[in-house]
Amino acid sequence: MNVRGTAAVAQAMVRAEVPQLVFASSSSVYGEREGGPFRETDPVERPISPYAATKRAGELLLSSFHYAHGTAITCARIFTAYGPAPAPRPRDSQVRGEDPARRGAARLRDGSAVRDFTFVEDLVAAWCARSTPTSGSRS
């Protein structure tokens, strides 16, 4: 969702007194970087695409809604999600398939790198767990 859409959802959330929101951000906010693993504290000031910039802008916008209105906001930075019928993308043509030893891991065809994928049902389960507050929890 673009920045204007994120703002509209946040405003509606405040008007309707919805107590919390889980925002689907993206690992793209980290931009180009060497090595791994990623950490939430890694710099995110230099997005390299308009998509990454809008996701980071959404995170910042929702952070301001949290401070201004006390709403609970979770920004989930999603890494390479896939599902039962993924849309083909040019870069996917270099992936040779899942590594049977690790759910969601795939190797590039030349064997040079392993990339983790996140199955969409696992994302939904995590979001549902996050959106069900437990006694004494803080967001």
Q: Which of 30, 51, 67, 82 is catalytic?
A: 51
DSSP state of 134: P
Is residue 67 part of the annotated active site? The answer reads no
How far is the C-alpha of 11 from the C-alpha of 5, rounded, in Å? 10
Query: Cβ atoms within 10 A of the Cβ of 97, count?
Result: 9
How far is the C-alpha of 106 from the C-alpha of 101, rounded, in Å? 10
Supply 31's token pair. Answer: 């931009």
CA 135-136-138 angle, 5° bins: 120
- Which amino acids are annotated catalytic? 51
